[in-house]
Structure 1
Amino acid sequence: MAYQALYRVYRPQTFHDLAGQQHIAQTLQNALTKQQFSHAYLFTGPRGTGKTSAAKIFAKAINCEHAPVAEPCNECAACRGITSGSIADVIEIDAASNNGVDEIRDIRDKVKYAPSEVRYKVYIIDEVHMLSTGAFNALLKTLEEPPEHAVFILATTEPQKIPLTIISRCQQFDFRRIPSSEIFERLRFVVQNQKIDAEDEALQLIAKASEGGMRDALSVLDQTAAYSEATVTVQDVLDVTGMVAGLMVRDLIDLLEAGGAAGAVGKIGELLDQGKDPLRLIEQVLFYYRDLLLYKTSPELEDLLSRPHVDDDFCKQAEAVPAERLFQVINQLNSAFIEMKRTNHPRILLEMAVVRLCQPSELSNPSAGTASVPAALEKRIDNLEKQVRQLSVAPQPVHQQEQHQEQSHTRAPRRNKALRIPTAHINRVLTDATKEELVELRSVWAKVMAKIRSENVAAHAWMMESQPVASSAEGFVQAFKYDFHCQMVMENKNNIMGLVQSIVQDVTQKQKIMYPIPEETWKTMKKEFIARSKSSQDDNGGKKEEDPIIAEAKKLVGPDLLDIKD
C-alpha cells in the first residue's frame, strides 16, 4: 500500500480523539444520545483544528447501526463506508471549487430523495464562505426547512463572510486553536506509534510552530522525520521550518539591549544568509520580548510563555530590561512586522527596525502618541501643567480670604478685561446658535481633543479644561475653567486657535471660528444675553423695533465695528 501522510493516518475517528475541542464534543455527544440533534450546523475556526473531522464523526454517529450512540463504533458497514468515502449518502463538497448557483441547485433538487444506504443524508460543505451570493440564496430555503432525512454541516475559517440569514438557521460551534501542550502530547503518541526517534524539545518546537493547528503539526513532523538521518532533533526542526535557535535569538536580544547596532545588523545578516525567513525571525524576536514582559510582570504565568522552559539567562534578561522598554520594543516590532508583510523587501524593513531599537530611548517612538515631542520638552510641559493646576485650584486660607475679599472681587474684572473678550462676536454666535449645532460639536469633541494631542501636546494641555458651550453654523464659544488657560490660548491664537479650528473643520466638515472665554465670564454673559432677549419681546410676543440711530450706524460702519453701550 502507498505511503499515507501522518495527518491522514491519524485523523480523528471519534469525538474522544478531537484534541482541544472538548466543549464541542460534549455538546454533540449529548445531542446524539438524546436524539435532539439539529438539521444544520456551522463549524467555524482556524485551519487544522478538526472541523471536517468532527463533521465526518457526526455523520458516522447518526448513521451508526447501533445509534443512538455518543461515539460511532467504526466497525459496522455504515461507519466503515463513511470513513472510506464509499457511502453515497454522505456528500463532501468543496465550496471553493463548487461555488456557483448550479451546484447548489443540484443539491436542492436531490436532497428531497431519501437516502439509499443509511438513515440520514449528510451534506458537508467545506469552506462555505466561498459560495457566491446567488448560491447562498439558493441554499437558504433548503437550509431552513430540509427534509427529515437530511442534515447540513457547513465548515469555514472565515465566518464573517457568511450571510446572517444562513448563520441564523444553523447551530454554530467555534473551534479553538489547540493548546501547544495537547499538540505535544499527540505528537508524542504518534512518534511512539510510528517508532520514530524524536527529542521532546523538537516536538515542543513543532507544537509551537504549528500555531494551534494539529494538521500543520503532523505535516511538519512528517517532513522533519523524512529530513533527519535517525533522530528528529531541534536543529532538524529549525532547518525545516526556517526558525532560529533560541540561543541565537538570545544573543540578538543582548546586542539590541546593549545598543550594538552594527553587531545586531551583522547577526541578522548572518541568519538571513543561512536561509532563515525574515518574517519568521522578527516573529521569534517579538515573541521573545513578549515572554520577557510576561515573566517580568507575572512570573507565576510561566505556562503562558511560548518558550519550552525558563532558564537563568532568561531570568537575568527579564530583570535587566525595564518594563517601559519592553512595551516600546513590542510596539515597534509589531509595526515593523505588519509593514514587512506588505513589502517585497522585508529584509530592509527588518534591518531598519533593528537599527531603531538600538538607538537611545530618548529618541522618538513612532508608535506613541507623543512621538513628535522631545522628552525634555514633554517633561517641561508636565511641570508647567502641575504649576498651573496648583495655582488655579489651591484654596487660600480663610483669614486671607476675609482680608483680601474686596481685592479679589476687583481683580477679576481687570483680568477679564485684559483678555479682550470678543463680546460682539460671541453675542452674534449666541443669536445664531442652535441646540443641534452644540450637540453635534460636543458629540465629536473627544475625537477633536485626541487629534489635538497627536498634533500638539502643549495645545492639548491648554485646551484640556475647556468645553464648547454654544455653537452656530459659523462659530462656537469655548469656555475655560481657568482664566490662565484662556489667556494662553488667546495669546497664541495664530498657533493654538488655528490648530483647533482646522481640526474641528476636519472632523465636522464645517468651518467654524472659536471664541475663547473664561467660565465665570461666560456665565455672566449668558445671563445678560437671556435677560436682553426677554426684554426685547413686547407684551404681544413680538420684537421691539430697533433704535433708528443704531440702525443707521450699522449701515455706515457695519455691525462688527459697532460697540453698543447702554
Structure 2
Amino acid sequence: MAYQALYRVWRPQRFFDVVGQEHVTTTLQNALLQKKISHAYLFSGPRGTGKTTAAKILAKAVNCENSPVSEPCNECASCRGITDGSISDVIEIDAASNNGVEEIRDIRDKVKYAPNAVKYKVYIVDEVHMLSIGAFNALLKTLEEPPRHVIFILATTEPHKIPLTIISRTQRFDFKRITPQAIVDRMKLIADETGVACEDTAMQVIARAAEGGMRDALSLLDQAISFSQDRVTVEDALTVTGAVSQDFMNRLARAVHGQDTAAALEALEELLFQGKEPSRFIEDFIYFFRDMLLHKSAPGLEESLERVLLDEDFKQLAGEVDTGRIYQIIDILNKAQQEMRWTNHPRIFLEVAIIKLCQLNSNTAGGTGSVDTTGLLQRIGELEDKLARLAENGIPAHDPAPAAAQSKPQRVNRKGFQAPAGQIKEVLKHATKPDLQAVKSKWGELLHMLVGRQMRSQAALLNEAEPVASSQEAVVIKFKYEIHCQMAMENAKFIDTAGAVLQELTGKRLQVIGVPEDQWQNIRESFINTQRSDAPAGEDQKEEDPLVAEAKKLFGDELVQIHD
C-alpha cells in the first residue's frame, strides 16, 4: 500500500520520542548505560500508550553495534534490520492467537539456540494475558532462567489476569495514560512536519476523545484530515469523534440551571436530529458536570479535566451552579445511563432525565443553600389562630367537601407510584363511551395545543399515554411507563394545564387522573368483578350478565364479542 496511517509512520524510534512515559524510558536508559539489563520485562498499561513501541526500541538498544548506549543509533545494520523486521532474532508474538501450550513449548525449545545476526534474541509477547493457564505454566521455568542471550518482554493491557508467579519473575513497568496536552504537542509536531493545517481547538477535542492513547489520537487525526477540506476545524473533529461541542454543552447546562425545560428539550431534539447517540451524549454530559465539580473544587488542576475546555462561558456557569446541585445532577444522569443500557428506547430515558434536571428545586439542591422560614412560620401561626377560632364556634376544622379530597396530589410510596384506585373506580361507575370518545377525538389537538403554548415537556409526557375512561367529571389517562405517570401526577402545573386545555376542547372541566398500564389492568378487573358480585341474587337468568353490560358500557356494543 502506498499510504500508511499516521500512527505507523510516526511510531517512535527512540526513547526520547515516547510521549508521557518518562518514568519508564529514563529507567530503561539508565539500565542500558549501566549494563544492568534484566532477562524479562512486563510492560502494562492502557492501549496506545507505547508498550510495544518501547519494547522494540529496547530490542534495538541492546543489540545496537554502538552499545552500551541510552538510545539506538537507528543507522547501524542491527538497528535498521530490527526496524524493518528483516532480523529474525527479534520475534514478535501475538498471544491472542498463539495462546496454547504447543506455541509456548516451541518457544521453550528454540530459546537455547544462539541468535544469528545480533547479540540478544528478544521475544516480544503482546497481549500476554490471553495465554492459557497451561501456556503460562509452560513458560514459568524458561522465563525464570532463560539462556544469557535471551530477553523476554511481555506486554499487556490487563495485568490482573497474569498469574503472580509470572509477574514475580519479571521487572514490571506500568505505562500511564498520556495527558491531553502531551498528545496535542505531539500532534502539532506531526502537523507541522506534514504541512497539515489544523486548529488548536480541534486538536484539543481529538486529544480528549483519545482518552490517553496516542495511537487513538493519531488515528482520529488521520480520519479528521481525510474528512476535512483544506483545514481541520473543530466541527470536523467533533464529527469524527462523535462528541458534542463545548458551546452546546454550555447551552444545555445553562437551560438546566435556569429550569427552562422547553429550551433544554429543544436543544436535545436538535442534538438527536444531528445523529448523536443518546448513550454517548449522556456520558459526555456526566463528564461535563464532573469537570465542573473538579474545577470548582481545585481550579488549578486543569490537566484533571477530561472533556471540558476552560472557556469563559464554562467558568461563568461553574460559578453560578453550587456544588450540591452538581451532585444531584450527576446522580440523576448516572441512574439514567444505567437504565438506558437495558432498553430499546434510550431516548425516552434521556428526555426524562433532562426534564428531571430542569425541575430540581434550586433551594434544596445545594447542601449549602438555605431557605427563608420567617414567612412560613408567620403563615403557620395565622392558620393556627383561624383553627382555634373555628373550634370556639363549634365548626369542624376540616373541609368535608369531596372535591377538596380529590384535588390532593396523589401519594408516592417508597416502592414506586401508586395510582388512586378508589378515584378510578368511582370514574368507572359513571363512565360512558360517548364521554370517552369526546376526549379521544380531541387528543391530537390537546398535544398540538400543548406544543403550541411552549409546553413541550408536558406534551412529551403524553406521547406514550392515552385516555381509557371518562365521565362528566373526570378522565383516566393510562401511561405506558410508570415514571412518566409519576412525573405527570406530581406536577400540579401539568394537571392544571391539561385540565384547562380539555375544558377548551370539550367544554367540560375534567379532573385528570393518571394510572400506569400494569396497574390499570388490575384496577379494571377488580372493578368488573366487584360489579358482578354486587348484582341481585334472584335476578332472572335471561337478563344480561352484569359483566357483559359493564363491558358494553365501557367499550361499546360493536367492540364486545360474547363467548361462552
Q: TM-score, normalised by structure 2?
A: 0.62
Query: Alpha carbons of 1:291 and 1:362: their partners in 2 closer, same or farther (altered >3 Å)?
Result: closer
Determine the structure 2 residue equivalent to 1:95. Answer: 95
The whole-number CA distance in structure 2 between the counterparts of 1:160 and 1:53 is 22
Q: Deviations over 1:396-416 (max 9, x none)?
A: xxxxxxxxxxxxxxxxxxxxx
Aligned letter for 1:104? I
Contact preservation (8 Å) 2:246, 2:309: no
Contact preservation (8 Å) 2:291, 2:308: no
Bigger mean CA deviation after superposition, 219-228 or 337-346: 337-346
Determine the structure 2 residue equivalent to 1:13. Answer: 13
Contact preservation (8 Å) 1:121, 1:150: yes
Aligned letter for 1:43? F
Query: Alpha carbons of 1:363 and 1:107: their partners in 2 closer, same or farther (altered >3 Å)?
Result: farther
Determine the structure 2 residue equivalent to 1:318. Answer: 318
Q: Deviations over 1:104-151 (max 9, x none)?
A: 111111111111111111100100111111111111111111111111
Query: What displacement does 1:317 show?
Result: 1.1
The whole-number CA distance in structure 2 between the counterparts of 1:342 and 1:170 is 42
Contact preservation (8 Å) 1:272, 1:278: yes
Query: What displacement does 1:348 show?
Result: 3.2
Query: What displacement does 1:269 show?
Result: 2.6
The whole-number CA distance in structure 2 between the counterparts of 1:269 and 1:284 is 16
Percent identity over the alignment is 60
Contact preservation (8 Å) 2:183, 2:207: yes
Query: What displacement does 1:362 show?
Result: 8.7
Determine the structure 1 residue equivalent to 2:186. Answer: 186
Which SS does the other structure have where 1:19 is aligned?
A: coil
Q: Where does 1:278-293 land on structure 2 (aligned, <5 Å)?
A: 278-293=278-293
The whole-number CA distance in structure 2 between the counterparts of 1:131 and 1:344 is 37
Which SS does the other structure have where 1:197 is aligned?
A: coil
Query: What displacement does 1:216 show?
Result: 0.4
Q: Where does 1:2-151 land on structure 2 (aligned, <5 Å)?
A: 2-151=2-151
Query: What displacement does 1:331 show?
Result: 2.6
The whole-number CA distance in structure 2 between the counterparts of 1:306 and 1:345 is 28
Determine the structure 2 residue equivalent to 1:259. Answer: 259
Query: Alpha carbons of 1:343 and 1:167: their partners in 2 closer, same or farther (altered >3 Å)?
Result: farther
Which SS does the other structure have where 1:152 is aligned?
A: strand
Q: Deviations over 1:409-460 (max 9, x none)?
A: xxxxxxxxxxxxxxxxxxxxxxxxxxxxxxxxxxxxxxxxxxxxx99xxxxx
Which SS does the other structure have where 1:300 is aligned?
A: coil
Query: Alpha carbons of 1:60 and 1:133: their partners in 2 closer, same or farther (altered >3 Å)?
Result: same
Query: What displacement does 1:338 show?
Result: 4.3
Contact preservation (8 Å) 1:99, 1:131: yes
Query: What displacement does 1:341 show?
Result: 4.6
The whole-number CA distance in structure 1 between the counterparts of 2:80 and 2:244 is 44
Which SS does the other structure have where 1:116 is aligned?
A: coil
The whole-number CA distance in structure 1 between the counterparts of 2:37 and 2:57 is 14
Q: Where does 1:155-554 land on structure 2 (aligned, <5 Å)?
A: 155-306=155-306, 309-341=309-341, 343-361=343-361
Query: What displacement does 1:339 show?
Result: 4.4
Determine the structure 2 residue equivalent to 1:381. Answer: none
Contact preservation (8 Å) 2:224, 2:236: yes
The whole-number CA distance in structure 2 between the counterparts of 1:150 and 1:86 is 18
Q: Deviations over 1:231-259 (max 9, x none)?
A: 00000011111111111111111121222
Query: What displacement does 1:284 show?
Result: 2.1
Which SS does the other structure have where 2:300 is aligned?
A: helix
Contact preservation (8 Å) 2:42, 2:172: yes
The whole-number CA distance in structure 2 between the counterparts of 1:83 and 1:124 is 14
Query: Alpha carbons of 1:17 and 1:270: their partners in 2 closer, same or farther (altered >3 Å)?
Result: same
Aligned letter for 1:73? C
The whole-number CA distance in structure 2 between the counterparts of 1:343 and 1:112 is 57
Contact preservation (8 Å) 2:246, 2:308: no
Q: Which runs of 5+ in 1 are unaligned?
A: 369-375, 377-453, 456-566
Query: What displacement does 1:64 show?
Result: 0.5
Which SS does the other structure have where 2:290 is aligned?
A: helix
The whole-number CA distance in structure 2 between the counterparts of 1:271 and 1:217 is 24
The whole-number CA distance in structure 2 between the counterparts of 1:98 and 1:231 is 43
Q: How many residues align?
A: 369
Bigger mean CA deviation after superposition, 353-362 or 15-24: 353-362
Aligned letter for 1:55? A
Contact preservation (8 Å) 2:325, 2:362: no
Query: Alpha carbons of 1:199 and 1:353: their partners in 2 closer, same or farther (altered >3 Å)?
Result: same
The whole-number CA distance in structure 1 between the counterparts of 2:98 and 2:304 is 41
Query: What displacement does 1:7 show?
Result: 0.1
Contact preservation (8 Å) 1:40, 1:169: yes
Query: What displacement does 1:275 show?
Result: 1.4
Query: What displacement does 1:303 show?
Result: 4.5
Contact preservation (8 Å) 1:204, 1:308: no
The whole-number CA distance in structure 2 between the counterparts of 1:179 and 1:295 is 17
Contact preservation (8 Å) 2:32, 2:70: yes
Q: TM-score, normalised by structure 1?
A: 0.62
Query: Alpha carbons of 1:364 and 1:295: their partners in 2 closer, same or farther (altered >3 Å)?
Result: closer
Which SS does the other structure have where 1:324 is aligned?
A: helix
Aligned letter for 2:264? A
Contact preservation (8 Å) 1:201, 1:308: no
Query: Alpha carbons of 1:342 and 1:32: their partners in 2 closer, same or farther (altered >3 Å)?
Result: farther
Which SS does the other structure have where 2:67 is aligned?
A: coil
Q: Deviations over 1:481-521 (max 9, x none)?
A: xxxxxxxxxxxxxxxxxxxxxxxxxxxxxxxxxxxxxxxxx
Query: What displacement does 1:261 show?
Result: 3.2
Query: Alpha carbons of 1:364 and 1:312: their partners in 2 closer, same or farther (altered >3 Å)?
Result: closer
Contact preservation (8 Å) 2:179, 2:303: no
Determine the structure 1 residue equivalent to 2:509. Answer: none
Which SS does the other structure have where 2:122 is aligned?
A: strand
Aligned letter for 1:52? T
Contact preservation (8 Å) 1:41, 1:153: yes
Aligned letter for 2:358? C
Which SS does the other structure have where 1:299 is aligned?
A: coil
Q: Deviations over 1:348-401 (max 9, x none)?
A: 332232222222349999xx9xxxxxxx9xxxxxxxxxxxxxxxxxxxxxxxxx
Aligned letter for 2:25? A
Bigger mean CA deviation after superposition, 50-59 or 351-360: 351-360
The whole-number CA distance in structure 1 between the counterparts of 2:186 and 2:61 is 23
Which SS does the other structure have where 2:154 is aligned?
A: strand
Contact preservation (8 Å) 1:127, 1:156: yes
The whole-number CA distance in structure 2 between the counterparts of 1:187 and 1:221 is 8
Contact preservation (8 Å) 2:49, 2:178: yes
Q: Deviations over 1:8-28 (max 9, x none)?
A: 000010100010000000100
Q: Deviations over 1:189-222 (max 9, x none)?
A: 0001110011111111111111100000000010
Query: Alpha carbons of 1:52 and 1:341: their partners in 2 closer, same or farther (altered >3 Å)?
Result: farther
Q: Deviations over 1:162-200 (max 9, x none)?
A: 111111111100000001111000000000111001111
Aligned letter for 1:83? T
Contact preservation (8 Å) 2:180, 2:303: no
Q: Which runs of 5+ in 2 are unaligned?
A: 368-372, 374-413, 416-564
Which SS does the other structure have where 1:355 is aligned?
A: helix
Q: Deviations over 1:317-357 (max 9, x none)?
A: 11221110011212332343344455554333322322222
Which SS does the other structure have where 1:253 is aligned?
A: helix
Bigger mean CA deviation after superposition, 184-193 or 319-328: 319-328
